[in-house]
Structure 1
Amino acid sequence: MFKHANPGAPSAQPAPSQEDQAAAAKSTLPLGLDWLVDVVAFLVGTGDAPDADDEAKAEQAVIGHAAFDTESLPPITIGRVATNRPAEPAITQSTLAVKADAARLLFNVSCASVTWAIIDSGIDGSHPAFASHDPVTGAPGPTRVIGTYDLTLIQQLLDPRYISSLFREGAALTPEQQTLKARYQLNLKLRGMADTDAPRLGRQLADRLDNGFELDWGLIEPFLWVEAPGTPSRGHGTMVAGVLGADWRGDQAPYTVRMQGICPDIKLYDFRVIGADGSSQEFDVVAALQLIRYLNAQADRRTIHGANLSLSTIHDVTSYACGSTLICQECDRTWASGVVLVAAAGNRGHERYMLAGGAELGGYNSTSITDPGNAEGVITVGATHRAFPHQYGVSYFSSRGPTGDGRSKPDLVAPGEKITGPVPDVGLTTDDGTSLAAPHVSGAAAMLMARNAELAGRPQRIKEILCGTATDLGRERYFQGAGMLDILRALQSV
């Protein structure tokens, strides 16, 4: 079939000459790159050989400074010429997987006004990953770890024998012990009690903690404050804090980014509940949650918007109903006060069963959510692959629901395999666990509050948003919860 000429069409224009095309191409290139047009024209056979000056520039531009000898090269087909742009170091794969980088760029979110507590083994605040940075030059500033409390001291402070030693005549006391004794004496005086009643007061405070009642934080809080915190003996808390809020840059200008967490400018509180030997007591965690509420009630203190609990305690079915343990009750109270709590689901998804006679049977534990993940007032987070969650699904170790009383848990999943994060003494390591999945969700909650100030103090609404915008991985509900965390969708939905 032939095409008929259109009488109304404009007449064809003569094609521009090669010289005109070259001149037009040169005009579109950045200053100093006009030689590139002549070189490309020669390579494709439409121009003369470049002069000596252009040839020298081309040699410098070729990787490895290869000689400009086209006779020995096969014919070249050039599809595109592009400028060589500087490459930026990639942030962690898991940050990309939950779309935190895209959300920050699209919505221009800064979490500098948000404060999060890390209830864990401690944060190495001297690590460069937690330095603040000048918004213009990028130069490092003070640490973003704005306060440290050592909750592992709480049992000692409430021990009547320890308290008695403070009031023993002639006892040599450290400055910290002298401060504690003075505060005890003031508290005793206000209560109309004598110094000899100090051990009894300690027992009363301990009983309150044992029964889930509020402690006298006006008395205890100053002693738990650590003025000059040392480097934690264990790196778990530092790594968890890094996944949430690391901003590790080079030592010198231009301070190139080495690693970033979900919220690279967030402020952090360090609540230490894990001792040097790796042990922790449930009462220490309960006390940490009470302390958060106490600090938030003080008008002169910075509000703690949320807390991350990347730790787990096996639910004791013989003593408490599921979700009703002391730590779960304390989580519910703190949640009701307006604080977002994010908890790891636990790493007991693949357990060994003990049969009669002591024989072990390997297999998947069908119900393995740990406390405080069993609490209603927390966002419970399972783990998935850091880069390919759709392909690999929920991690084999991630604890599975439902809870012991039939509630749906976990709430959602986030990357928890081969996660990279900082460790004390300017270190960097890679590890697995739901402990590292949880801070991804903490970061998402913080970004929601930073972007939408009206969400501050509304943890239930934040939980609904995060679960409602999660990506379905096509796995069983009791494995994946609502699905994979998607920070970009969460911010777009509000």
Structure 2
Amino acid sequence: MPTDPEMDRFNLTRSVISAPLIRDLHERHRRKTANTGITKFPQGMKNLLTSRNSGGDQEPPRNEQVPPQQSDADLPHLEVIIELNLAYKDGVEKAAERLKELLVQAEPELAADTDGDHHLRISSQYVFARITENTLHLLVDREHDLPRQERIVQYIWPDFDVEPHLHRSVPTVKADAAHVAFCASGKGMVWAVLDSGIQGDHPHFKKHDNLNVTLPIQHMDFTGGGDPLQDPFGHGTHVAGIIAGELQNDQIDGGIKAFTRTRVDRMDPNTREIKTDIKYIPEPIERITGVAPECKLVSFRVLDQNGRGKTSNIIMALNKINEINAYGRSLIIHGVNLSVGYGFEAEWFACGQSPLCTEVNRLVKSGVVVVVAAGNTGYGTLQTDAMSAVKSPLQLSINDPGNAELAITVGATHRDQPHTYGVSYFSSKGPTGDGRMKPDLVAPGEKIQSCAAGTTAAAVNLKTGTPCHYVEDSGTSMAAPHVSGAVAAFLSIRKEFIGQPEKVKKIFMDSAIDLGRSRDFQGKGMVDLMRAIQSV
């Protein structure tokens, strides 16, 4: 059969190292070539790329040769996730110990590493490390020819950068009706928010003391030095305010200060260039509430002050939740909201089988509901013979960890007219790269009014000269916490389903409102808390 010119079959070659890390190394050496004229790869890289072929025919990377090894001083560091071999003859714990020994032998400075440095961390079946390329090559050279039982490493991935996927929406999911009819307020539930932190002094969380948690639950930072109850970026606080909390106008001096955003485009009369400005317009609000106002929130900070973070931060946080819950034996954190992620490429790895997706599935199996934003990459450029390039919806655009089979993956709709406007243009669309149906549900994600903090609140203050308690934001980041809040509210009055996340997912999918859109766009439809409660 002829080879498809668009498919790189080299990426299907079995290797100790993942395709995106190989690609990253290629790019690093291309940049070095441009700067120094060096055109060859280290010996370890050649071995890496020509080993463990499932078909027996070795195919080295195109147009690449092999030079002498370079010194560590000449090589930048790589941040990697090393997946341990579960079939190692002495067990996974011994594999982790042996790997640490090898890494410290190669880079002695790792021996003095602390948790805050994040240069060497061990969690479950993964080791997260910041190592030189030479160390990576040496590790791969050791592993690639060993029998499976002798190998300590299963696979090496890049530690992907993750980023945030950015109230009239509460009635849209019928949470207001559920509060009145069933007292479904989220009382007794605990939800972990893995994000940029939650601003602990925001008045939205005072009435119900949402952030007051007791040991063994505690707010934690996984970025290295941040405070989980500070949110300099502002994204996590906005997400948390959608899930839980409540504020009335008379509960705060001067009343609630909330703002909508308006974009203003104008032409500069001198340069004739279009310039864009954002204006903030006050919006009167008497009362604002999260979907599950009495739910407790625990802040697991995985994004830094710039809204950036590593996949390893999230994996560490998910493992910590499992530990706090005694691996399902004592469930005290009932759910997780992940409004963060990274784009998926089909050639990287089997869809839904990345380390992050695996950890999400493992946590769900332990009894925890995991709600994930689908991503904001649901549109691209369409070129046809009949028209010039235009922006168009883009299928196969679900982000990780939204590709995790057991997660509740959430796309976005209009905040109060979802039947009219349907699925948001930016909302990532299915199916998954391996043909599974995603997203699972959609929820309001456009112009959602919620808590302002950090740079978001500062930007409004700079423009208006007044403090800002609430501001609009958009994205599947805002849609996911609507579902987290709805599930927390549901579980607070249907306690028999606590610890049964797969049943909970089915209940919410079966009771969703069909918006009349494609399954790849809307999943099973828009979340409906009232119907979910009344269906059981």
Taking structure 1 as the reference length, the TM-score comes to 0.61
Match of 1:22 in 2: none
How far apart, in 2, do the equivalents of 1:280 and 1:352 lie?
28
Whether 2:535 is the aligned partner of 1:460: answer no
Query: Offset of 1:363 from its aligned partner?
Result: 2.8
- Closer, same or farther: CA 472–298 of 1 in aligned 2, 3 Å: closer
Moved more, 450-459 or 253-262: 253-262
Q: Closer, same or farther in 2 for the Cα pair 1:284/1:476, shift >3 Å?
A: same
- The match for 2:169 among 90, 94, 116 is 94
Q: Which runs of 5+ in 2 are unaligned?
A: 1-166, 257-285, 458-467
Q: Is the 8 A contact 1:289 1:334 kept in 2?
A: yes
User: Is residue 446 of structure 1 aligned with residue 488 of structure 2?
Assistant: yes
**Residue matched to 1:104:** 179
Q: Secondary structure at the match of 1:401?
A: coil
Using the alignment, how far apart are the partners of 1:437 and 1:284 within structure 2? 22
Partner of residue 337, structure 1: 366
Q: Following the alignment from structure 1 to structure 2, what is the Cα–Cα distance between the partners of residues 131 and 253? A: 11
The partner residue of 2:188 within 91, 95, 113 is 113
Deviation at 1:368, TM superposition (A): 0.3
Given that 2:211 and 2:297 are in contact with CA atoms closer than 8 Å, whether structure 1 keeps it comes out as no
- Per-residue CA deviations over 1:178-230 (Å, capped at 9, x if unaligned) read xxxxxxxxxxxxxxxxxxxxxxxxxxxxxxxxxxxxxxxxxxxxxx8x8x755
1:290 pairs with 2:319: yes
User: Which amino acid is the alignment partner of residue 313 of structure 1?
Assistant: Y
Counting only pairs closer than 5 Å after superposition, residues 353-432 of structure 1 correspond to structure 2 as: 362-424=391-453, 427-432=469-474
Of 311, 335, 342, the residue aligned with 1:313 is 342
Deviation at 1:361, TM superposition (A): 6.4
SS where residue 484 of structure 1 aligns? coil
Distance apart, 1:447 and its partner CA: 1.6
Inter-partner Cα distance in structure 1 for 2:219 and 2:301: 7
Deviations 1:323-345 (A, max 9, x none): 00010000010000000000001
Q: Give the alignment of 1:27-46 within 5 angstroms.
A: none
What is the Cα deviation at residue 115 of structure 1?
0.1
Q: Report how far residue 462 of structure 1 moved.
A: 0.4
- Measured after TM superposition, the shift of residue 301 of structure 1 is 8.4
Alignment of 1:115-264 (within 5 A): 115-133=190-208, 143-144=211-212, 147-153=218-224, 229=228, 231-250=230-249, 252=251, 258-264=287-293
In the alignment, the residues of structure 1 paired with residue 292 and residue 315 of structure 2 have an alpha-carbon distance, to the nearest angstrom, of 26
Q: How big is the shift at 1:488?
A: 0.5
Q: Higher strand proportion, which one?
A: 2
Higher relative helix content: 1
Distance between the aligned counterparts of 1:128 and 1:401, measured in 2?
38
Q: 2:293, 2:506 → 1: CA distance?
A: 24
Superposed CA offset, 1:7-63 (max 9, x none): xxxxxxxxxxxxxxxxxxxxxxxxxxxxxxxxxxxxxxxxxxxxxxxxxxxxxxxxx
Provide Cα deviations, 1:232-284, integer angstroms capped at 9, x if missing partner.
11111000000110212345499996210101111000011111122111111
| Structure 2 residue 514 is matched with structure 1 residue 472 | yes
Q: 1:363 & 1:299 partners in 2: Cα distance?
A: 43
User: C-alpha deviations, 1:297-318, integer Å up to 9, x for none?
Assistant: 1899881000000012112433
| Amino acid paired to 1:402 | P
Deviation at 1:365, TM superposition (A): 1.6
Secondary structure (helix, strand or coil) at the match of 1:303 reads: coil
Q: 1:354 to 1:276 in 2, by over 3 A?
A: farther
Larger radius of gyration: 1
Distance 1:317 1:427, change over 3 A: same
Q: CA RMSD in A?
A: 2.7
SS at match of 1:124: coil
Aligned to 2:164: none
How many residues are matched?
A: 321
Structure 1 residues 106-115 or 244-253, which shifts more? Answer: 244-253
Distance in structure 2 (CA, Å) of the matches to 1:234 and 1:115: 23
Structure 1 residue ranges without an equivalent (≥5):
1-91, 134-140, 154-223
Sequence identity percentage = 46
